[in-house]
Amino acid sequence: MASNEPTDDTLYPIAVLIDELRNEDVQIRLNSIKKLSTIALALGVERTRTELIPFLTETVYDEDEVLLALAEQLGNFTPLVGGVEYVNCLLPPLESLATVEETVVREKAVDSLRNISQQHSPQDLENHFVPLVRRLSGGDWFTTRTSACGLFSVCYPRVSAPVKAELRSNFRALCQDDTPMVRRAAASKLGEFAKVLEPEYLKSEVISLWSHLASDEQDSVRLLAVEACVSLASLLSQEDLEQQVMPILRQAAEDKSWRVRYMVADKFVELQKAIGPELTKTDLVPAFQNLLKDCEAEVRAAAAQKDLVADHNQHVKSALASVIMGLSPIFGKVNTVEHLLPLFLIQLKDECPEVRLNIISNLDCVNEVIGIQQLSQSLLPAIVELAEDSKWRVRLAIIRYMPLLAGQLGVEFFDEKLNGLCMTWLVDQVYAIREAATQNLKSLVEKFGAEWATNTVIPKVLQMSKDQNYLHRMTCLFSIDGLAAICGADITTKLMLPTVLSLAEDSVANVRFNVAKTLQKIGPILDQSTLQGVVKTVLYKLVNDPDPDVRYFANEANLTLY
């Protein structure tokens, strides 16, 4: 007789998710978040709404990587909760994420909220989304109020007049907040908000708010007000510009803070387009002449778009490094070698990693003109230092440029000088580096070919399967996932498949269930005799594994392959 009680199988995805999110290993928690959409599909829209979303709302995490992945996932979750009719159920977890301390997490949560706001009906906006904006705007912590600033413009156009009045009032309060961080956030979103306001409120409300922010005691607020001026100027009449905007903009060009003057110089082209030729001639050109003679190098650099390679200021050198390589095609080979190459070499030895990274990221421009060999001797030390930088984001950036460098340097130089670095990244302590390193190997094999992989990469990858650290054994599997399709059935079957099958006996359940996932991924390129033979035997064993995760992924692989 059929029972209406939920079986263990129907409860399984949530149970697995709970276990994984409570695991001490950050990588496991991160992987769990990344497969939320798969879990939601398994649960169905109703259980996703009633079980999964409440669980995610109530669960507290402390790793930024996990929070960031969750914020991104939820922004695309509308179809998985039943469509736009139920989209408001995604608001609670995103509201929680919009209040955390880490800036990048809050920004991603706000991006996702902005995305799903468009899927709300006008009534749902007023009943669900606007109350969220109201709560964030009135939050005790500045983090909630900064997040609120990015949500006004997306809901304002589609709500009723009384609600619009409330939103304008709330935004005004944020512009006048006691905390500089909140005022900065409001200043950065003022131009965006102004674009969706009715014309009558531009003069009566927005200009006064902008004037207040442009005169703020904090230069970090004043400089963002300059940026907002670009949007405001395009919305106002010439008369309003001349009377209410230009006096403040002239004041900003002479501000006591170089950072504000820098912003005026940096946004000069956009400002002159927004205010028109007449006011540019009478007001901006004299201000610009003064900026070219400013006492601060950063301001002169922004005004002239030409920095000094030996400047003492890190910002100046980094800005130059981001554009100087692009001059090579214009200068030609002779002038590049004579005039620019010495500057490149100086910047490749700069103590600031951002400067070296900006040079390396644009090497293709120089390679087309003079060839990479003239740079290689100075290039290598810079690459090695960046690859071993203590900041993991710097290491991550250089990994992403490695395939480009490999193509320019050639296989012999790469094998001799850089191959070891690529393998070292596979055992980095940061998961994001290890993940990027596996993608890097895939890109390198696509560039250098399967024969190179067989002789150079695959033996080192397979050796990781014997490492005492189970994370390294898992990285071995992740690398095989990427390499198999490029290397083809023959190399995969002869060289890599035996290692995958041997790891099915691993003592760590995480390794064993990743064996099942790897077999699921590489199975389509294997011949039928292999699939029906050793692969099927191993999967049968994993389907009966004592660990529920292993059984789950082994069943998934079976469903895909047989």
| Structural domains for the chain | 198-302 (1.25.10.10), 449-562 (1.25.10.10)
Q: What is the mean pLDDT of residues 142-162?
A: 92
**Among 90, 67, 92, residue whose Cα is nearest residue 78:** 90
Average the pLDDT over each of 10-19, 58-67, 81-90, 377-386 and give the range with the smallest value: 10-19
How far is Cα 93 from Cα 99, in angstroms, rounded to an integer? 10
Measured CA distances, 416 to 222, 279, 421, 430 (Å): 52, 60, 11, 26
| pTM for this prediction | 0.53
Which pLDDT value is given to residue 5? 37
**Among 57, 150, 67, 153, residue whose Cα is nearest residue 111:** 150
**Among 425, 492, 421, residue whose Cα is nearest residue 454:** 492
Which pLDDT value is given to residue 169? 93
**Among 214, 231, 137, residue whose Cα is nearest residue 177:** 137
Angle between helices 268-275 and 219-233 (to 10 degrees): 40
Report the share of the chain in percent with pLDDT over 90: 29
How far is Cα 185 from Cα 145, in angstroms, rounded to an integer? 9
Which pLDDT value is given to residue 200? 85
Q: What is the mean pLDDT of residues 135-140?
A: 90
Which pLDDT value is given to residue 290? 79
The pLDDT mean for the chain works out to: 83
45-74 b/e (C-beta count within 10 Å ≥ 16 → b): eebbbeebbeebbeeebeeebbbbbbbbbb
Which pLDDT value is given to residue 378? 59
Q: Which two tokens stand for residue 189?
A: 């979103």
The whole-angstrom distance between residue 235's C-alpha and the CA centroid of its chain comes to 32
Sign of the alpha-carbon torsion through 391, 395, 396, 397: positive
Q: Are 253 and 287 in contact (CB under 8 A)?
A: yes
On the question of pLDDT at 320 being above 70, the answer is: no
Report the share of the chain in percent with pLDDT over 70: 87
Report which of residues 17 and 129 the model is more confident about.
129
Give residue 53's pLDDT band: very low, low, confident or very high (50, 70, 90). confident
The whole-angstrom distance between residue 351's C-alpha and the CA centroid of its chain comes to 26
How far is Cα 551 from Cα 559, in angstroms, rounded to an integer? 12
Number of other residues whose CB lies within 10 A of the CB of residue 396: 18
How far is Cα 372 from Cα 362, in angstroms, rounded to an integer? 12
Dihedral of CA atoms 342, 343, 346, 350 in degrees, nearest 10, equals -170
Q: Which two tokens stand for residue 551?
A: 């059984």
The 3-class secondary structure across 190-213, one letter per residue, is: HHHHHHHCCHHHHHHHHHHHHHHH
Give residue 7's pLDDT band: very low, low, confident or very high (50, 70, 90). very low
On the question of pLDDT at 3 being above 60, the answer is: no
Side-chain half-sphere exposure of 505, counting CA atoms within 13 A: 7
Average the pLDDT over each of 110-124, 245-259, 360-374, 498-512 and give the range with the smallest value: 360-374
Q: Are 214 and 225 in contact (CB under 8 A)?
A: yes
Give residue 499's pLDDT band: very low, low, confident or very high (50, 70, 90). very high
Q: What is the mean pLDDT of residues 364-380?
A: 67
Report which of residues 556 and 281 the model is more confident about.
556
Q: Could you tell me which residues come within 8 angstroms of residue 249 by beta carbon, excluding any fewer than 6 positions away? A: 226, 229, 264, 271, 283, 284, 287
**Among 383, 366, 385, residue whose Cα is nearest residue 374:** 366
Average the pLDDT over each of 250-259, 455-464, 474-483 and give the range with the smallest value: 250-259
How far is Cα 512 from Cα 24, in angstroms, rounded to an integer? 18
Q: What is the mean pLDDT of residues 40-67?
A: 80
Q: Which of left, alpha, beta for 332 (phi over 0: left; psi -120 to 50: alpha)?
A: left
Average the pLDDT over each of 17-31, 147-161, 183-197, 283-297 and give the range with the smallest value: 17-31
CB-count burial class (<10 Å; 0-12, 13-18, 19+) for 539: buried
Q: What is the DSSP string of 323-369?
A: HHGGGHHHHHHHHIIIIIHHHHHHHHT-S-HHHHHHHHHTHHHHHHH
Average the pLDDT over each of 298-302, 468-472, 530-534, 543-547 and give the range with the smallest value: 298-302
**Among 330, 387, 328, residue whose Cα is nearest residue 356:** 387
Report which of residues 188 and 369 the model is more confident about.
188
Q: Are 142 and 182 in contact (CB under 8 A)?
A: yes
On the question of pLDDT at 453 being above 50, the answer is: yes
Measured CA distances, 432 to 26, 69, 72, 236, 299 (Å): 11, 12, 16, 47, 36
Which pLDDT value is given to residue 474? 92
Which pLDDT value is given to residue 14? 63
On the question of pLDDT at 34 being above 90, the answer is: no
Q: Are 506 and 512 in contact (CB under 8 A)?
A: yes
Which pLDDT value is given to residue 372? 63
Which pLDDT value is given to residue 376? 65
How far is Cα 228 from Cα 186, in angstroms, rounded to an integer? 10
Q: Are 279 and 288 in contact (CB under 8 A)?
A: no
**Among 323, 316, 318, residue whose Cα is nearest residue 299:** 316
Q: Which two tokens stand for residue 167?
A: 């939103």
Q: Which of 6-10, 82-86, 167-171, 404-408 has the largest mean confidence?
A: 167-171
**Among 293, 313, 229, 315, residue whose Cα is nearest residue 264:** 229
On the question of pLDDT at 375 being above 70, the answer is: no
Q: Which of 32-46, 272-286, 295-309, 435-449 has the largest mean confidence?
A: 435-449
End-to-end CA distance of the chain: 31
Report which of residues 516 and 61 the model is more confident about.
516
Side-chain half-sphere exposure of 260, counting CA atoms within 13 A: 24
How far is Cα 258 from Cα 277, in angstroms, rounded to an integer? 26
